[in-house]
């Protein structure tokens, strides 16, 4: 039995016998690797398998928790039942059902399920070859990223790909993030033993999201991109380009990817389809440098594929049929209109507030007088980001994308009520 299977069986037994009850937190990947005397990759594979089988869940910026309920543990809850229900989620993690054509996606999923022979085997560790080829063509057309399919690795979300990347690069190096809002990425690198810093240009590894540099969607200027590529090349630094929200550049002209500017020599390019499609469609991809692609092939046996094979097949046909490009155009129009509408609603409710939209037109940033406790928002069923609270003023970052249009006015009134309490 493999090591990761042994860990899987051990934790599973702990869960079903209530040694670790519903809602209990598992050790971090780093701590678990020390506990079981195995690599972090082995622990991560075990955690992925437990999550796939419904025993645990991964919560952003927090960790892994038990989601399995036995007769005893079902009576206990990690969160109090009296906790306020979230009525208006401005965190940006939700999608509006009107932004996505479920019928079209359903047809592609049904077509994938009819491929009986392909579904009788596991997906390739690196991802389905046809999907990797489709992604190779897509990123060349959209972002001028020239990379063959054999340098592309597919996974269920960016975090799963970063686990692989951390296993491929040398440890005991410094890694820099744009700011402290990159909690998940920074925590993962810390778990692997990297020295995490913020806005540190002399880091060995520089993690950037050029199309979403801050919580409110700032875009890295073209001049700064060129400077970063030149400086990192001179220092032989590795750049990790998380191209999150590059397809949502409404107010500015398209800017080149760092990968394209560098020729891919020292840049790892990461992209995801969750934002364009649905958060629940967990398929992301990573383009490795030639050197790292060679290491991946050498250690491929240590990894496992985390994205579902059926969804990979469906996504491939979705891209080939031109549906992805159509979805990008639809999503842009839809969320542009919604953000502008919500901004106008807020201006009516807060005529003296400073209200502006982010560069990618996905967030509204509002600064208003406030003297209360920020917990009031949660108590009133509002989930949002507080960017700043000082000197009697509070700055809120609001992503209205996941709130139905007919509820935007009620949401604005709920914010006003919270501020005036």
pLDDT of residue 1: 60
Q: Are strands 393-398 and 364-369 parallel, antiparallel or unpaired?
A: antiparallel
Q: Which residue has the tokens 């991946």?
A: 296
Residue 155: beta bridge partners? 284
Q: Which residue has the tokens 């469906």?
A: 314
Residue 208: beta bridge partners? 241
Report residue 104 as tokens: 């079209």
Q: Which domains does the chain have, with CATH numbers?
A: 3-75 (1.10.10.10), 88-99+326-420 (3.90.1150.10), 124-307 (3.40.640.10)
pLDDT of residue 309: 94
Distance, in Å, from the CA atom of 392 to the CA atom of 370, rounded to the nearest integer, reads 5
What letter does residue 151 receive in the DSSP assignment?
G
Residues 6+ apart with CB under 8 A from 374: 386, 389, 394
Q: Cα–chain-centroid distance for residue 200?
A: 23
Report residue 296 as tokens: 């991946």
140, 331 contact by CB (below 8 A)? no
pLDDT of residue 81: 45
pLDDT of residue 180: 78
Q: Cα–chain-centroid distance for residue 166?
A: 17
116, 411 contact by CB (below 8 A)? no
Backbone torsions φ then ψ of 414, nearest 5 degrees: -65, -40
Report residue 352 as tokens: 């003296």
248, 113 contact by CB (below 8 A)? no
**Residues 365, 370, 372: CA angle, nearest 5 degrees:** 125
pLDDT of residue 243: 87
**Which H or E element spans position 394?**
strand 393-398
172, 193 contact by CB (below 8 A)? yes
pLDDT of residue 190: 87
Helices (H) and strands (E) in the chain, counts: 15, 15
Distance, in Å, from the CA atom of 101 to the CA atom of 107, rounded to the nearest integer, reads 10
List of the chain residues with pLDDT < 70: 1-2, 60-62, 70-83, 214-217, 245-254
Residue ranges of alpha helices (H) inside 97-172 are 102-113, 116-119, 129-143, 158-168
Name which of 276, 403, 392, 289 is nearest 339 in CA terms. 403
Distance, in Å, from the CA atom of 284 to the CA atom of 282, rounded to the nearest integer, reads 7
Distance, in Å, from the CA atom of 129 to the CA atom of 312, rounded to the nearest integer, reads 10
Helix or strand or coil: residue 369?
Answer: strand
pTM, full prediction: 0.77
**Which H or E element spans position 113?**
helix 102-113
Distance, in Å, from the CA atom of 305 to the CA atom of 12, rounded to the nearest integer, reads 20
Over residues 129-161, the pLDDT tens digits come to: 999 999 999 999 888 899 999 999 999 989 899
Report residue 292 as tokens: 């790292």
pLDDT of residue 70: 63
Q: Are strands 267-272 and 284-287 parallel, antiparallel or unpaired?
A: antiparallel
pLDDT of residue 254: 60
284, 274 contact by CB (below 8 A)? yes
């Amino acid at each position: 039995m493999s090591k990761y299977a042994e860990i899987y069986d051990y934790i599973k037994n702990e869960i079903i016998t209530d040694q670790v009850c519903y809602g209990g937190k598992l050790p971090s990947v780093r701590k678990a690797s020390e506990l079981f005397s195995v690599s972090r990759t082995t622990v991560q594979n075990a955690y992925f398998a437990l999550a796939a089988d419904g025993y645990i869940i991964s919560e952003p910026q927090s960790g892994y928790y038990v989601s399995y309920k036995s007769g005893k543990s079902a009576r206990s809850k990690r969160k109090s039942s009296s906790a306020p229900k979230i009525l208006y989620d401005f965190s940006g993690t939700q999608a509006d059902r009107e932004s996505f054509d479920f019928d079209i996606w359903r047809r592609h999923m049904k077509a994938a399920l009819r491929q009986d022979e392909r579904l009788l085997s596991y997906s390739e560790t690196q991802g389905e070859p046809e999907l990797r080829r489709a992604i190779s063509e897509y990123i060349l057309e959209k972002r001028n990223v020239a990379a063959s399919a054999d340098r592309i690795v597919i996974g269920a979300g960016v975090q799963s790909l970063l686990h692989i990347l951390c296993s491929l690069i040398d440890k005991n190096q410094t890694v820099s993030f744009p700011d402290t809002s990159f909690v998940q990425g920074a925590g993962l690198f810390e778990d692997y033993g990297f020295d995490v810093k913020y806005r540190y240009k002399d880091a060995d590894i520089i993690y950037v999201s050029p199309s979403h540099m801050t919580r409110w969607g700032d875009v890295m200027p073209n001049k700064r991109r060129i400077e970063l590529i030149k400086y990192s090349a001179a220092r032989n630094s590795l750049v990790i380009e998380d191209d999150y929200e590059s397809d949502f550049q409404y107010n500015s002209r398209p800017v080149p990817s760092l990968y394209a500017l560098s020729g891919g020599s020292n840049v790892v390019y990461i992209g995801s389809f969750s934002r364009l499609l649905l958060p629940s469609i967990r398929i992301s991809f990573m383009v490795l440098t030639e050197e790292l692609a060679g290491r991946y092939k050498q250690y491929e046996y240590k990894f496992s594929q985390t994205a579902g094979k059926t969804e990979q097949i469906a996504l491939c046909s979705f891209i080939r049929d031109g549906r992805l490009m159509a979805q990008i155009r639809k999503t842009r129009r839809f969320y542009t209109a919604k953000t502008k509408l919500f901004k106008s609603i807020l201006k009516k409710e807060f005529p003296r507030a400073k209200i502006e939209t982010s560069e990618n037109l996905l967030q509204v940033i509002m600064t208003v007088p406030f003297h209360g406790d920020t917990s009031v928002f949660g108590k009133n069923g509002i989930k949002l980001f507080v960017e700043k609270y000082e000197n009697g003023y509070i700055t809120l970052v609001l992503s209205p994308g996941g709130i139905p249009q007919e509820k935007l006015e009620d949401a604005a009134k709920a914010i006003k009520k919270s501020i005036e309490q």
